[in-house]
Amino acid sequence: MKLKVFAIAVLIAVILAASFFAVYFTEASVNYSQGTSYLYQKQGDSWVTLDYNNNKLFNGSYLTVYCQNRGYFDSASFNLIVTLTNATFSPNSFTAKIAYSLHDKEVHSTDLQFFINSNATGFGILIALQPNSIFMRSTEGNWLGQNPIFYENSANNTLAPVLFS
């Protein structure tokens, strides 16, 4: 009788462990980050974006958000919530919600335009994941894992990312 109870307990433990590993290794694993190769420079009364990786200058203030489904689960459905401090996406709008549905191993990026106050000395960007499924893992890939990222006046009316330790 004791052997039968022990065998049933072991069988249940094996089934639970196998179920856990099956879900863990097949669930969506989402990595998200923002582009950190941008500086924001004031020219006259407005701001321009400098992508220092390829030395390109863009009129206005832009931000690129990257995400990837790194799992083997066919679909990852989620929202990225981008919140600005001391900047806006439109008048009275500090937050943008971007909906994604990515298949396994799919990568996507979204460019967002925003507005920095003409007399700003800094601003912040926070990205948060809002999953639409319970079977989803997430990781951030921002600059040294930093979220939010703050930009402060560095020199020559240029706002650059600040690293907090």
- pLDDT per residue, tens digit, the chain (165 aa), is 777 877 787 778 777 766 665 555 556 778 888 876 888 998 888 899 988 888 888 889 998 888 888 877 667 888 999 999 889 998 889 999 999 988 888 899 999 999 998 888 899 998 888 888 776 776 666 655 667 788 888 877 888 887 655
pLDDT for the residue numbered 30: 82
Please give the pLDDT value at position 19.
61
> Domain range for residue 86?
2-162
Q: Is the pTM of this model over 0.85?
A: no
Residues 6+ apart with CB under 8 A from 46: 59, 60, 118
- CATH number of the domain where residue 64 is located: 2.60.40.10
pLDDT at 98: 93
| Residue 15, pLDDT score | 78
Number of domains in the chain: 1
Ordered DSSP codes for the chain: -HHHHHHHHHHHHHHHHHHHHHHHHHSEEEEEEE---EEEEEETTEEEEEETTTTEEEEBEEEEEEEEE-SSSSEEEEEEEEEEESEESBTTB-EEEEEEEEETT-EEEEEEEEEE-TT-SEEEEEEEEEESSSSEEEEE-SGGG-SSEEEEEEETTEEEEE---
